[in-house]
């Protein structure tokens, strides 16, 4: 596997020069031109080595180094300080901050290559193997009120019944009803996490905000507080949430709300599978066509989008599935019936429908959907292990 190196320098020319040197040596290069950006990329990119300049405008390299060492997710990454400073005191300060080695500018390409190779070889035996990456499933509604949260919750519950260890995460700040459906009540775990800098978001922080349902299903919840809905947060923090949860959920199901917004635009490419929930009426289908075009134009983790139809019409009024497929230009993965009484009873009990009454028609349909998604997960895992 190619080693990945993060280069941090506010001098764009230096970034390009060092990056070119390393790429010629066969390394994968990631760049950051500021301290805060470096902290975020260290978490999201998981480099094998960081080459860190000291003199930067927002945060000097010493402070970046200290923060990297204080974060459990980045503490073991080797760091080479890279600077024009040559005083012994400066080098001592670098080592005290946690640096593994020190290079001065300008450096000869052969010296850079030798130092990088030595540090990587030195740390290779100690480098902990990356935990197996879990799968991600995004659930998105073509419009509001189609049952997106019901699908996300019950697919996660069905996966739990199947012996998996899934997590369901609610990105709908200010309208997060998932906790109410689970009988857990208000929780602002997602808002708490998104309020952090992306570089500080890792598995320990995420696990501290997870709540556990009586079924054993774990959840990272939003609330219905209007103030929470007005919260501004970085899309990089949202990305860090997805990547962090991927490491601890098997799989992770994300309730992404409705419509193709900036959050969905950023996160859907991190999804191994997308479930688009639609209703078979002209307005919803027209909106679904637009969302499908955006999802397929930008591409996703695997490019796989499943269309799930929530059919609220009476049997004599239901639109034939082939007409829906023709309208969308896309295959339907599942048609889910509506059971209002069962839905009401399960909400009052605080138990997902597939657990509350697993033999009901709607439960069987959702369980079959979860089995299809899980089969896709296994196929992806088999393909990765054989490559």
CA distance 242 to 190: 11
Residue 31 is encoded by which pair of tokens?
Answer: 């760049």
Backbone dihedral region of 350: left (phi > 0), alpha (psi from -120 to 50 degrees) or beta?
left
Q: Are domains 4-123 and 136-386 of this chain identical in fold?
A: yes
pLDDT computed for residue 316 by the predictor: 47
CA distance 356 to 81: 57
Domain positions in the chain: 4-123, 136-386
Q: Could you give the dihedral angle defined by the CA atoms of residues 53, 54, 55 and 60, in that order, rounded to the nearest 10 degrees?
A: 120
For the question of whether the overall pTM of this predicted structure is more than 0.85, the answer is: no
pLDDT computed for residue 90 by the predictor: 66
pLDDT computed for residue 301 by the predictor: 43
Strand intervals (E) in the chain: 4-8, 28-32, 49-53, 79-83, 101-104, 136-141, 167-170, 211-212, 218-220, 252-258, 273-278, 305-311, 332-337
The span from the first CA to the last CA of the chain, in angstroms, equals 12
> How high is the mean pLDDT in each 10-residue block of the chain (387 residues)?
87 86 89 89 89 87 90 88 68 81 80 88 62 82 91 95 92 93 88 92 91 92 93 93 92 95 91 93 91 78 78 64 88 91 93 95 95 85 64
Q: How many residues comprise the chain?
A: 387
What is the per-residue pLDDT across 26-37, written as a single tens digit (0 to 9) for each? 899 999 998 888
User: Does the domain spanning 136-386 belong to CATH 3.40.50.300?
Assistant: yes
CA distance 221 to 193: 10
Q: Which helix (H) or strand (E) holds 333?
A: strand 332-337
User: Does the domain spanning 4-123 belong to CATH 3.90.870.30?
Assistant: no
């Amino acid at each position: 596997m190619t080693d990945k190196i993060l280069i941090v320098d506010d001098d764009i020319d230096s970034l390009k020069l060092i990056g070119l040197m390393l790429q010629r040596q066969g390394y994968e290069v990631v760049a950051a031109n500021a301290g805060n950006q470096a902290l975020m990329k260290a978490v999201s990119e998981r480099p094998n080595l960081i080459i860190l300049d000291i003199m930067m405008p927002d945060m000097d390299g010493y402070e970046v180094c200290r923060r990297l060492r204080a974060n459990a997710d980045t503490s073991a990454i080797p760091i080479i300080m890279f600077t024009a400073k040559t005083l012994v005191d400066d080098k001592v300060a670098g080592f005290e901050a946690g640096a593994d080695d020190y290079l001065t500018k300008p450096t000869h390409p052969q010296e850079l290559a030798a130092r990088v190779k030595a540090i990587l070889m030195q740390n290779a035996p100690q480098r902990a193997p990356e935990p197996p990456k879990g799968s991600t499933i995004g659930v998105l509604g073509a419009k509001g009120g189609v049952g997106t949260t019901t699908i996300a919750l019950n697919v996660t519950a069905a996966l739990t019944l199947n012996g998996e260890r899934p997590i369901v995460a609610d990105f709908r700040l200010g309208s997060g009803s998932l906790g109410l459906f689970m009988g857990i009540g208000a929780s602002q775990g997602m808002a708490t996490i998104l309020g952090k800098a992306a570089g500080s978001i890792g598995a320990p922080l995420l696990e501290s905000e997870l709540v556990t349902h009586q079924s054993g299903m774990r959840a990272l919840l939003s609330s219905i507080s209007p103030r929470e809905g007005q919260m501004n947060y970085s899309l990089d923090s949202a990305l860090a949430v997805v990547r962090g949860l991927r490491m601890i959920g098997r799989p992770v199901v994300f309730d992404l709300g409705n419509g193709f917004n900036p959050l969905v635009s950023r996160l859907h490419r991190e999804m191994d599978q997308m479930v688009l929930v639609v209703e078979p009426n002209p307005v919803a289908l027209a909106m679904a066509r637009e969302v499908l075009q955006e999802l397929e134009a930008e591409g996703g983790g695997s490019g796989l989008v499943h269309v799930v139809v929530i059919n609220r019409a009476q049997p004599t009024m239901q639109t034939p599935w082939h007409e829906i497929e023709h309208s969308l230009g896309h295959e339907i993965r599942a048609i889910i019936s509506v059971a209002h009484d069962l839905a009401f009873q399960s909400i009052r009990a605080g138990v997902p429908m597939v657990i509350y009454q697993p033999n009901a028609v709607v439960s069987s349909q959702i369980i079959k959907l979860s089995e299809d998604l899980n089969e896709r997960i296994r196929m992806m895992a088999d393909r990765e292990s054989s490559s």
